Amino acid sequence: MISERYNAYRVMWILVLYDLPTETKVNIRESNLFRKRLLDNGFSLFQFSMYIRQCPSRENAEVYILRIKSILPKAGKVAIMCITDKQFASIEIFFARNKEMPPSPHQQLELF
């Protein structure tokens, strides 16, 4: 059933947070490459050094988590967190004390 398929407890958000060194040209290149690969895999900038991606299921999220693990840079810290759509909807975002709404999910089409 479609309603079960897009249930707020089934849809997942992957959050990738990172702190990579940028002291040398090699570090900068690796940091930029990691960021580019996140973008190539459908992630969007949420905050500085934090990218997010919505996935229709936990199984789909696991695929992207494995992809992230395969592109980890040699140096620095990377954290990968997976939360439900329901949890993501409860995020309170403030910009200069003004409350903002979390980003709306993109419509993701699946082809079989």
**For 43-65, how does the pLDDT look when each residue is reduced to its tens digit (9 = 90+)?**
999 999 999 999 999 999 999 99
Give yes or no for a contact between 21 and 77, defined as CB atoms under 8 angstroms apart: no
Report pLDDT digits (tens) over 64-99: 999 999 999 999 999 999 999 999 989 888 877 778
Domains of the chain, by residue range, sit at 2-100
Residue 108 vs residues 54, 56, 97: alpha-carbon distances, Å: 8, 8, 32
- The CATH topology of domain 2-100 is Alpha-Beta Plaits (3.30.70)
**pLDDT higher than 50, residue 4:** yes
Query: Rounded CA gap, 21 and 47, in Å?
Result: 18
